[in-house]
Amino acid sequence: MVRRKNLIAANWKMHKTVSEAVGFVRELQKSVGTFDDREVLIAPPFTALLAVSKELSREDFFLGGQNCHWEEKGAYTGEVSVPMLKDVGCRYVIVGHSERRHIFKEDDEVINKKVRAAVKWGLVPILCVGEMLEEREAGKTFEIVSDQLEKGLKDVDLLDGRSVVIAYEPVWAIGTGRTATPEQAQEVHSFIREKLSGSYGKDIAHSVRILYGGSVKPSNVDDLMKEEDVDGLLVGGASLEVESFRRIIEYQQ
Ligand code: PEP
């Protein structure tokens, strides 16, 4: 069984110009200590990918796209393909973020096509799943997460547990300042691992990294990372400042 390396990912959303992105990465790489149990991922806007790629010099730092199209190329104005992301140095791509699901109306079928495209052309998709507040209050969290997971991973053959990352992001916690408690996160993460175990077997399920996302900040990171099935974080707002993201990367378990 492969030991899981934690992944701390920055999702910058629609923030930072090229020079801001490059300056940030330069400073972050200098200030973050080196740990052999964790990796760092930066997902800037498309416009800054190439410049950030050139600036990344540490072996424990990786680059990711925030979205992709499922075709290799073609007449899809405004879209970017997986091979194009690979070409600029990406290793990961975020797929099915709740902002893509809700603002841009991406459904599970589209998300599944993107996951399959990423795996096919050699990027690691970070598949985001998570319930809305009313779904949690109606006791439907497991049902929703299970459904999104099943549909998102439909017909995805995993060679090993490092071919995909799952991010549990309760929608009510994204950008709201309201974080899931470590117990709430652990409960859903262990449920996700069980589900993966049913589909892919125990060995693969135990090597898939399951990230938590939703208002992660320096003040709650240590407790979240103490949970057994929390293998990293997807961080939005708190990844935009070097000092707060550095502190998050340097969490203490
Ligand atoms: C996100 O965008 O994936 C996210 C979790 O945002 P925030 O950390 O700001 O809640």
Domains and CATH numbers, the chain: 6-249 (3.20.20.70)
Pocket test for ligand 1, best of 98, 169, 178, 248 (most atoms within 8 A of CB): 169
Q: What integer pLDDT is reported at residue 159 of this predicted model?
A: 83
CB 129 within 8 Å of CB 148: yes
In angstroms, the CA 113 to CA 117 distance is 6
Q: What integer pLDDT is reported at residue 107 of this predicted model?
A: 98
SS3 for 17? coil
Q: Is 170 in the pocket of ligand 1 (CB under 6 A)?
A: no
CB 82 within 8 Å of CB 125: no
SS3 for 179? coil
CB 185 within 8 Å of CB 224: yes
**Per-residue pLDDT tens over the stretch 140-167:** 999 999 999 999 999 998 889 999 999 9
pTM for the predicted model, two decimal places: 0.97
Q: What integer pLDDT is reported at residue 1 of this predicted model?
A: 56
Q: Would you tell me how many other CB atoms lie within 10 Å of the CB of residue 4? A: 17
Q: What integer pLDDT is reported at residue 72 of this predicted model?
A: 98
Q: What integer pLDDT is reported at residue 158 of this predicted model?
A: 87
**Per-residue pLDDT tens over the stretch 43-58:** 999 999 999 999 999 9
Q: Which regions in the chain score pLDDT beneath 70?
A: 1-2
Does the annotation flag 78 for ligand binding? no
ipTM of the complex: 0.97
In angstroms, the CA 214 to CA 144 distance is 17
Centroid of ligand 1 to alpha carbon of 236 (angstroms)? 4
28: left (phi over 0), alpha (psi -120 to 50) or beta: alpha
Total number of residues shown for the chain: 253
